[in-house]
């Protein structure tokens, strides 16, 4: 399966390891792409766990993303957010459908990195200047690649990295 983020790569070689908790996105853009893919794949736990100040209720988030179908992503601009940075911004347009309606989520997202883990902080609407530059930096046919860094496998009695709050052996380690 092709990765929903538009990289042109298969999901397991792109955002899949991040969504499954097998690796951490090395850049703010890689996290942005993985979060978009999680919305497409209806994976609210990943979205919730990568949000610095998530909504109070995971169930509401899950219900909300089940009602919208995200179709494709345009990354317009990145600022900072590289492996050696602690902050970054990613300007993007996420296209969606809901029933017979179509629309775009246009946002300049802010990301922060703590202990080598990127998280989504918040977003502002795109400026007119950013929209005028509507030339995606990763266009169809051009591959986005971010190195996948494997995480150490959790021990049987460690909490599961999926965020369930259950021991690994009783959750994803089964």
**What backbone torsions phi and psi does residue 123 show, to the nearest 5 degrees?**
-145, 155
Q: Is residue 3 part of a domain?
A: no
Measure the CA–CA gap between 170 and 174, rounded to whole angstroms: 6
Q: Cite the DSSP H helix spans in 89-139.
A: 128-132
**139's tokens:** 């266009």
The reply to whether the predicted model has a pTM over 0.95 is: no
Residue 103, burial from CB neighbour count under 10 angstroms (0-12, 13-18, 19+): exposed
- What is the pLDDT at residue 47? 94
- What is the pLDDT at residue 170? 75
* Mean pLDDT, all residues of the chain: 84
Q: Is residue 1 part of a domain?
A: no
- What is the pLDDT at residue 167? 74
Whether 42 and 68 have beta carbons less than 8 Å apart is answered as: no
pLDDT in tens, 99-157: 888 999 999 999 999 999 999 999 998 877 767 766 555 444 444 444 444 445 667 77
Q: Is residue 36 part of a domain?
A: yes
- What is the pLDDT at residue 55? 81
Q: Is residue 43 part of a domain?
A: yes
Q: Is residue 80 part of a domain?
A: yes
Q: Is residue 6 part of a domain?
A: no
- What is the pLDDT at residue 92? 92
User: Strand, coil or helix: what is 55?
Assistant: coil
Q: Is the pLDDT of residue 89 over 70?
A: yes
Contacts of 64 (CB under 8 A, 6+ apart): none
Which of the four pLDDT bands, split at 50, 70 and 90, describes residue 27?
A: very high
- What is the pLDDT at residue 142? 41
Q: How many domains does the chain have?
A: 1
User: What would you measure as the largest C-alpha separation in the chain, in angstroms?
Assistant: 52
- What is the pLDDT at residue 81? 96
Measure the CA–CA gap between 133 and 42, rounded to whole angstroms: 30
Q: Is the pLDDT of residue 83 over 90?
A: yes
Q: 138 is in which domain, residue-wise?
A: 11-170
- Find the CATH number of the domain harbouring 80: 3.10.450.50
Q: Is residue 116 part of a domain?
A: yes
- What is the pLDDT at residue 172? 63
Q: Is residue 151 part of a domain?
A: yes
Measure the CA–CA gap between 165 and 84, rounded to whole angstroms: 30
Distance between first and last Cα of the chain: 25
Radius of gyration of the chain (CA): 16
Q: Pick the most confident of 26-40, 132-146, 153-167.
A: 26-40
């Amino acid at each position: 399966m092709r990765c929903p983020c538009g990289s042109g790569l298969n999901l397991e070689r792109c955002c899949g390891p991040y969504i499954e908790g097998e690796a951490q996105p090395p850049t703010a853009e890689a996290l942005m792409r993985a979060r978009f893919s999680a919305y497409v794949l209806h994976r609210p736990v990943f979205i919730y766990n990568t949000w610095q100040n998530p909504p109070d209720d995971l169930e509401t988030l899950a219900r909300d993303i089940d009602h919208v179908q995200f179709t494709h992503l345009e990354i317009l601009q990145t600022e900072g957010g590289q492996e050696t940075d602690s902050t970054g911004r990613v300007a993007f347009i996420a296209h969606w459908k809901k029933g017979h309606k179509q629309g775009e989520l246009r946002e300049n997202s802010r990301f922060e990195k703590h202990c080598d883990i990127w998280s989504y902080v918040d977003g502002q609407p795109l400026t007119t200047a950013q929209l005028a530059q509507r030339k995606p930096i990763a266009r169809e046919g051009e591959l986005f690649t971010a190195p996948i860094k494997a995480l150490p496998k959790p021990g049987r009695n460690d909490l599961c990295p999926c965020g369930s709050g259950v021991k690994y052996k009783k959750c994803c380690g089964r």
